[in-house]
Amino acid sequence: MQTRRSTRVSQSVKVTTEAQADIDAPRPAKRLKTAAAVKEIAHSDALATNSAASSSRQEPKRQRKTKAKPEEPKPEDFPARAESLWKVGVHVSAAGGVENAVPNAAKLGANSFALFLKSQRKWTSPALTEHSIKAFKARLESFGYSPAHVLPHGSYLINLGNPDPEKREKSYECFLDDLQRCELLGLELYNFHPGSTVGQATRSESIALISASLNRAHKATQSVVTVLENMAGAGNIIGATFEDLGDIVRGVEDKTRVGVCLDTCHLFAAGYDIRTKEGWQKTMDDFDAQVGLPYLRGMHLNDSKALLASKRDRHENIGMGHLGLAAFHHILTDTRLHGLPLTLETPSFEVEDVWRKEVEVLNRLSALTAPEGQAVGWAQEMAEEVRTAVQYASSGKDAKEKGKRTVKKRGRRDVDDEEEEEEGHECDH
């Protein structure tokens, strides 16, 4: 009995062990498949390695392209400028650096120029670089421009007449930054819009605030002359009358640091009729009585789209507005304006030929010594030259604009030109 049971157990253990061994042993088919898979992976890896090595040999590493340094503009490559005691010029672009304003003026034949020293619609801007400062000074000298014939324009945001202390301080900081930029560039003049009451102060109160801000800025800087611009007179704007300008000047302690720039469009819009020689003379007499001719440090030469005394600031190309080209003959034959920067702020339609033609025509006007009647006739002929240049430029721009389908809407407000937007920034904020 015991022997049979032992035999049975022994046989059972033997069977179990053999079965387990059979399970653990790899099957021939599985072994072949595994080997094939390993071989295939190894082959793929080898191909990839060879391909990468081949690619590395065939395609050398690309070198970074560096922008070529732009060639320095040479005065001899630019057109000769007219020799004249009346320094006719243009407000030019300073995009890419203030130093670019110099050749931009030279290619237009300008004997003076205006520019923005930073964005005119931002409170703060990056500082001038050492390169831009050195390049601006070097180009000014090489192109033969005097610092006295450069009239930088201030930010449209500045309102030194704002009765709100916090807002006025913000304007002052922006204003002071502009003056410091002028000093870094070696410039003598700085033109700005006086300010506004914003409907929260009397005119005399805002005028006193403007004078006080100028006194403070003069003490913080060395020599730049702060040049007030006469305004068209819309809303609460200060500076449309010679009386306003005179009151500001009288409140300034250092009279050597303050001046006035007369804008012809603004004069006309404010009610000063300068269309005739008699009208121009009367306007200058009024200016001398209220402000003083020694304070006149520059002019902006613009025709007017708007009527006399309209209080609307709408610049038009020379000879194409309500002033007419004859009005500019009176200005450009007045010896009291010798050596002053007389800069255009007219529409260019992004075509330089418009400004180039206007500069040329104004220089020719300054050389006219014919009797009044004959000069008017010649002026009309010259106005046609300007009109032709403007029509050509504007038609090209119109065609370009029609091709664009992404025109930005600017509300329901009808905007004539960029000067429309500027009026909205006449410090009424």
Residues with catalytic roles: 121, 153, 156, 193, 229, 263, 266, 300, 313, 315, 345
The total number of residues written for the chain in this structure = 429
SS3 336: helix
Contacts of 212 (CB under 8 A, 6+ apart): 251
- Check residue 346 and report its DSSP letter: -
**CA–CA distance, 209 with 198 (Å, rounded to integer):** 13
Q: What are phi and psi of 113, to 5 degrees?
A: -160, 160
**CA–CA distance, 60 with 359 (Å, rounded to integer):** 55
Amino acid identity, position 232: A
Q: Is 204 exposed, middle or buried (0-12, 13-18, 19+ CB in 10 A)?
A: exposed
Contacts of 270 (CB under 8 A, 6+ apart): 230, 231, 232, 233, 240, 241, 309, 311
| Exposure b/e, 265-293, CB count within 10 A at least 16 = b | bbbbbbebbbeebeebeebbeebeeebbe
- Report CA-CA distances (Å) from 194 to 119, 210, 223, 229, 317: 18, 7, 19, 7, 25
**247, two tokens:** 């009151």
**170, two tokens:** 């913000």
Choose among 85, 114, 86: nearest CA to 98.
114
Q: What are phi and psi of 381, to 5 degrees?
A: -65, -40
**250, two tokens:** 């009288």
- Report CA-CA distances (Å) from 31 to 19, 27, 28, 363: 19, 6, 5, 100
